[in-house]
Amino acid sequence: MAQMTGGEAVVQTLRHEGVEVVFGMPGVQVMSIYDAFYGQAGIQVMTVRHEQTTAYMADGYARVTGKPGVALVVPGPGVQNASAALGTAYAASSPVLLLAGQVESFNVGRDRGALHEINDQQDTIRPVTKWCQRAHTVPEIAPAIQEAMRQMRHGRPRPTEVEVSPDVLAALGEVTLVSPAAPELIAPEWESVRRAAELLRGARKPLIWAGGGVGIAGAERELVALAEALGAPVATTNEAKGVIPEDHRLALGVGYFGHGASSWAAPQADVVLAVGTRLTTQMTGLNAPREPQTLIHLDIDPTVIGKNYPAEISLAADARLGLQALLEEVRQEAPAAPWPEAELRDMRDLQERWLQEQAPDQVEIVRRLQGVLPDETVLVSGITNVAYWSYFAYCARQPRCYITSSYFATLGYSFPVALGAKVGAPDRPVVSLTGDGGFMYALPELATAVQYGIGVIVIVFVDNALGASNNDQHTRFAGRVVGTQLHNPSFAEVARVFGARGIRTEPERLDEALQEALNGGEPTVIEVPIPTWAPPFQITPRSH
Ligand SMILES: Cc1ncc(C[n+]2csc(CCOP(=O)(O)OP(=O)(O)O)c2C)c(N)n1
Ligand SMILES: [Mg+2]
């Protein structure tokens, strides 16, 4: 037990929990926290230019390290500015702690027009947090932060929030820190494992759908071992890219809006094992589980199981323990028949032909990137045309190397998330793919990149349009273009004005530009002019 201010209690608790960096924006209600950062070397404070970036950077940091990321903001507008980023982390099951200010204790809930006041602040972010709490006294601060951390390390990781009023942050009180609890991993129920293994072993054509939960649980090795034991192909969501090396003989790549090699395989499967995925709308059409297929659903979050498709067997467990148990049980006897590998090869060839037909230019760009990027590169796939096509065309061979905004599809997330990813993985190349529309959301953070020497590479595809919406107008609305054209500055010049490296290149020389950026190691913007192309979700899936 020790006497300290509320602000010191926040910082001491963060240090105790192993936090190394906080992404923040100061303001009067949180200045006691800032003051407690003064003169201590344990935690670096990085100041950004808009609160959206606090939570985006925390998210990027969390995705590459697997450790919670921490954002610090003022109440009201600070919290509101951060909330789309929290929503993105919520969609992607990423652990982000939002430390938020509040109005003075005596003003909370009074609607008196106190500075930065918002009524029912926590209600505004409850839909994008797993857990949130206000610490009313100094002794409540450490338990609140420690519980937030526990919530993010146990079960499904999702954002949390802790808020403290400025009078509490300035007050003195007794603070007790307890040892962080080791994560309790939830094991699957044995009888269900036995039945699931029996179904998988007896299947004529078993198929595995792997989602982001596999990577979060660190269950890649178990996934590949189970697939190999069964001879079952593995399709993934885009969040799960890399949980099986995508050049593995059993990897089908990403299934997305009815497209992908999986769309040929999935309809033929008789038993489907879904693991760490909600089976959301990207599983529509040919990829979706269907009668009379048997669905076995393994997920740490029991509310996900059977939500979108009825599951014959539910396994509410940690993905690694669940897959391990299934593997042990499957190995008891030889499986009935592996999926003929020649068929899987044909499906991948069909996908390649489809890609060359539908998006040859985008595929060429992605392959140029692939040619110069080492496997450990973190690619942050933005809401932009080339990034959608990279779901299929980019070959991810390692986990935690490909970041998406999941079903939130948050325009503007890619660059600030990449900044946080680079802070978490300074020795790996981090590349953000973004459109000209999306980059503008957080463009001023080029100053943050330069200030802290965060050597991210941003590839901006410039079609002078909100391309996906513009293409929608051409295909669905008879070319009635309204509100989808953009006027842009030269992004390469803008980068230079900020003190970053700026390169403009035609798509044909993108690999050279990228190599130059990799060699330089500084924050770099590569501007690539392109036409507007059709995204995969605006192309009708082929019926087979
Ligand atoms: C926060 C948010 N606002 C709006 C959208 C809708 N939206 C999806 S793609 C898109 C256009 C993006 O334009 P750009 O970044 O230039 O990429 P492009 O489609 O041109 O490749 C828009 C407006 C979104 N996904 N997220
Ligand atoms: Mg665009």
Candidate of 361, 365, 383 to mutate for ligand 1, largest count of ligand atoms within 8 Å of Cβ = 383
Ligand of minimum distance to the alpha carbon of 441: 1
Q: How many CA within 13 A on the CB side of residue 111?
A: 2
Candidate of 466, 482, 484, 528 to mutate for ligand 1, largest count of ligand atoms within 8 Å of Cβ = 466
pLDDT digits (tens, 9 = 90+) for 111-158: 999 999 999 999 999 999 999 999 999 999 999 999 999 999 999 999
Cα 308 to chain centroid, rounded:
21
H or E element in which residue 2 lies: strand 2-5
CB 384 near ligand 1, within 6 Å? yes
Atom of ligand 1 nearest to the CA of 438: 15
Neighbours of 334 (CB within 10 A): 10
H or E element in which residue 299 lies: strand 294-299
Between the CA of 76 and the centroid of ligand 1 the distance, in Å, is: 26
- pLDDT at site 285: 79
Between the CA of 487 and the centroid of ligand 2 the distance, in Å, is: 10
CB 491 near ligand 1, within 6 Å? no
Atom of ligand 1 nearest to the CA of 439: 15
Between the CA of 238 and the centroid of ligand 2 the distance, in Å, is: 21
Residue type, 425: A
Residue type, 277: T
- pLDDT at site 543: 66
CB 461 near ligand 1, within 6 Å? yes
Ligand of minimum distance to the alpha carbon of 469: 1
Instruction: List the chain residues with pLDDT less than 50.
Output: none
Residue 224 and residue 248 in contact, taking contact as beta carbons nearer than 8 Å: yes
What's the rounded Cα separation, in Å, for the pair 490 and 91? 33
Q: What is the pTM of this model?
A: 0.97
Q: Which of 147, 125, 20, 150 is nearest to 73 (CA)?
A: 125
The strand pairing partners of 101, in sequence order, are 164
Residue type, 356: Q
H or E element in which residue 253 lies: strand 251-254
Between the CA of 475 and the centroid of ligand 1 the distance, in Å, is: 16
The two beta strands, 172-175 and 2-5, are antiparallel
pLDDT digits (tens, 9 = 90+) for 8-56: 999 999 999 999 999 999 999 999 999 999 999 999 999 999 999 999 9
Residue type, 309: Y
The encoded tokens of residue 301 equal 């979050």
CB 463 near ligand 1, within 6 Å? yes
Atom of ligand 1 nearest to the CA of 384: 21
10 Å CB burial of residue 173 (0-12, 13-18, 19+) is middle
CB 385 near ligand 1, within 6 Å? yes
10 Å CB burial of residue 286 (0-12, 13-18, 19+) is buried
CB 144 near ligand 1, within 6 Å? no
Q: What is the CA radius of gyration of the chain?
A: 24
Between the CA of 473 and the centroid of ligand 2 the distance, in Å, is: 14
CB 469 near ligand 1, within 6 Å? yes
Neighbours of 180 (CB within 10 A): 13
Between the CA of 520 and the centroid of ligand 2 the distance, in Å, is: 27
- pLDDT at site 183: 85
What's the rounded Cα separation, in Å, for the pair 360 and 357? 6
CB 435 near ligand 1, within 6 Å? yes
Residue nearest to atom 20 of ligand 1 (CA): 467
Atom of ligand 1 nearest to the CA of 535: 19
CA distances to 41, 97, 300, 482, 541 from 17, rounded to whole Å, are 15, 12, 24, 51, 48
Atom of ligand 1 nearest to the CA of 434: 15
CB 467 near ligand 1, within 6 Å? yes
400-435 burial, b at 16+ Cβ within 10 Å, e below that, comes to bbbbbbbebebbbbbbbbbbbbbbbbeebbbbbbbb
Between the CA of 411 and the centroid of ligand 2 the distance, in Å, is: 11
Atom of ligand 1 nearest to the CA of 462: 16
CB 264 near ligand 1, within 6 Å? no
Residue type, 494: V
CB 528 near ligand 1, within 6 Å? no
- pLDDT at site 544: 60
CB 386 near ligand 1, within 6 Å? no
| DSSP code at position 68 | P
| DSSP code at position 159 | -
CB 459 near ligand 1, within 6 Å? no
Residue nearest to atom 2 of ligand 1 (CA): 411
